[in-house]
Amino acid sequence: MTLPGALPGTLWMRGSAPAPLILMAHNNGLPKGEPRLVARARHSAAYGYAVAAIDAPGCGDRPRSAADEQARADLRRAMQAGEPVDEIFESFIGPLVEKAVPGWRTTLDALLSLPEIGGLVGYSGWTAVGIRLAVVEPRIAAAGFFAGGYVPRAQREEARQVTIPLLFLLQWDDEGNPRQRALDLFGAFGTKEKTLHANMGGHTGTPWFEADDGNRFFARHLK
């Protein structure tokens, strides 16, 4: 489907009764049709949720600028060479968060007008975008965040304003997210109800049972 503002998105549902909504965002650079995201979305839909995903700016069906391509190339080169990446990351991901969040809010407006969707809203996925949404969007009642080692400074400060229930997933050997930064970020969240799940393995090695735990987490707060 195409949402208002020409945002390409996908909505997964089972049944016709009004269902709680989960906004599911993959990490930067990966489209709404990425197999891992689709598998997670279908799994959550089977639990009785409506699940929506959109392409972030420069991802999937949304064109990527030459400047974005160069920034991604610079980031990959620096990471592969073991060079400091903080400033490259800030100059790239920070603006991307600023561009992505309005699209998610437009998506939320459109989806909550559908008769098939009702009740509370959750967010699952990309930590940097999720932090900003949790701060500015009062309709989001609970969130599940992934990784969190590389999060822009602005969102690290905003984490203190996150007060909704939170489930935070951490891969202990994640080659792309410094562990201590992720742990520091978890400590910074302002909510009194936050849970950390840490598993051994690299970035894409999150155990599948975490999908079930995530759905049970959302059941406690959205149903």
**Largest pairwise CA distance in the chain:** 52
Task: Give the pLDDT of residue 4.
Answer: 47
What average pLDDT does this structure show over 68-89? 81
pLDDT value at position 52?
A: 92
Give mean pLDDT, residues 13-38: 80
C-alpha separations of 128 from 42, 43, 98, 115 in Å: 23, 23, 10, 30
Asked if 30 contacts 61 with a C-beta cutoff of 8 angstroms, the reply is no
Our CA angle for 59, 54, 19, nearest 5°, is 165
Mean pLDDT of 84-92: 81
* Residue-level pLDDT at 6: 54
